Amino acid sequence: MSFNHAAAAALVFGALYLALWCYMAYMYSTRQYKWASRTTVLFVHTSLRVASQACGVAFGVLAWDSPVVFVVYLLLGAEGYITLTIAAFYFLHHYLLAHFGALRLLRPDINSLTKNQEGLCLVEMILGIPLYLPWRYWPDDRIAIVDAWLIPGNALIVGGGVMMAAKMDVKSPEHAGLTVDEVLKRNARHLATAKVLRTAGYGVFLVLIVVYCGFIVKTWTRPGRSNSTLVIVTIVAMLLFIRGVFGVLQSSMNNLSYYNPSSYRADGMAPRFTAMEYCLAVVPEFACLTPARLY
């Protein structure tokens, strides 16, 4: 066990996220932020990222002595990404509502549904039927469509991550006496399946970010817009797009992937992989938070 570069990077961003979490907690405690607001989605994201970075520190210190920490790190990272994507759409909804009065981005009043429809809607959303669900109840509801796609997309990423971590666990009894390369060769088929699942999941997220960018491009053409605020929204869109592209590339390209043995050393992640992970995943996500609070 040792405190290495991966633990140091996780500690730095963990401290930044914790500072932001404390600030937001103070704002909620003084009622300057309301729980029933778009800001709460960012608070959830920040909480997940604090926990994720704590797991990053633990994995940097414990390395493969505790593979469960690595699994939790992957899961929390995926959940952090999904909450940030949701927040982006809700903040865009707030901007459009503030400047144009009304729009067809957020769903109509759900109370217009019967109890049976609400129950069936919930079951379908949990099961993840994104092509079918939104159009049945809210044909003009863009956010319902986003929510319906995010659920299966998130499930694909989480399922692929859990499968990957389980099959890469060199400490597992079934892998006793095997090197990392031997473990990867033995589980090549399962790891290939995990790779496809994660790539598909991140692909769904990237499509949703492209849709988000499309809404912004259309907004630039509308009269009565606030250019200064829209610039902030556009910056957030570009950061999310970078994060989305990296997610797809990382899950599909071997030299960028968690599946590549060269991404690891005996004490955890290799320095190159750590730098790539933080520069193209963690930094864009964190950078989204500062301008997001300004609109």
Q: Does residue 116 lie within any of the structural domains?
A: no
Angle at 284 between CA 280 and CA 206, to 5 degrees: 80
The token pair that represents 216 in the structure block: 């912004």
Q: Does residue 237 lie within any of the structural domains?
A: yes
**What range defines the domain where residue 74 resides?**
5-106+141-292
Q: Does residue 113 lie within any of the structural domains?
A: no
Q: Does residue 135 lie within any of the structural domains?
A: no
Give the total number of structural domains in the chain: 1
Q: What is the DSSP secondary structure assignment for residue 222, as one 8-state letter? A: S
Count of C-beta atoms within a 10 Å radius of residue 241: 16
Buried/exposed 263-272: b ≥16 CB within 10 Å, e otherwise:
bbeebbbbee
Buried/exposed 89-114: b ≥16 CB within 10 Å, e otherwise:
bbbbbbbbeeeeeebebbbeeeeeee
Burial of 289: CB neighbours in 10 Å, binned 0-12, 13-18, 19+: buried
Count of C-beta atoms within a 10 Å radius of residue 280: 17
Q: What's the CA gap between 260 and 252, in Å, rounded?
A: 11
- 21: CB partners within 8 A, 6+ apart: 43, 46, 47, 50
Q: Does residue 114 lie within any of the structural domains?
A: no
Q: What's the CA gap between 125 and 169, in Å, rounded?
A: 33
Q: Does residue 127 lie within any of the structural domains?
A: no
pLDDT in tens, the chain (295 residues): 567 788 888 999 999 999 999 999 999 999 988 888 888 989 999 999 999 999 888 887 877 677 778 778 888 888 888 888 888 888 887 787 777 765 555 544 444 556 666 666 666 655 655 555 555 555 555 666 677 778 788 888 888 888 877 766 656 666 566 665 666 666 677 778 888 889 999 998 999 899 889 888 888 887 766 677 788 888 989 999 999 999 899 888 877 777 776 777 766 778 888 888 899 999 999 998 865 555 5
Q: Does residue 29 lie within any of the structural domains?
A: yes
Q: Does residue 121 lie within any of the structural domains?
A: no
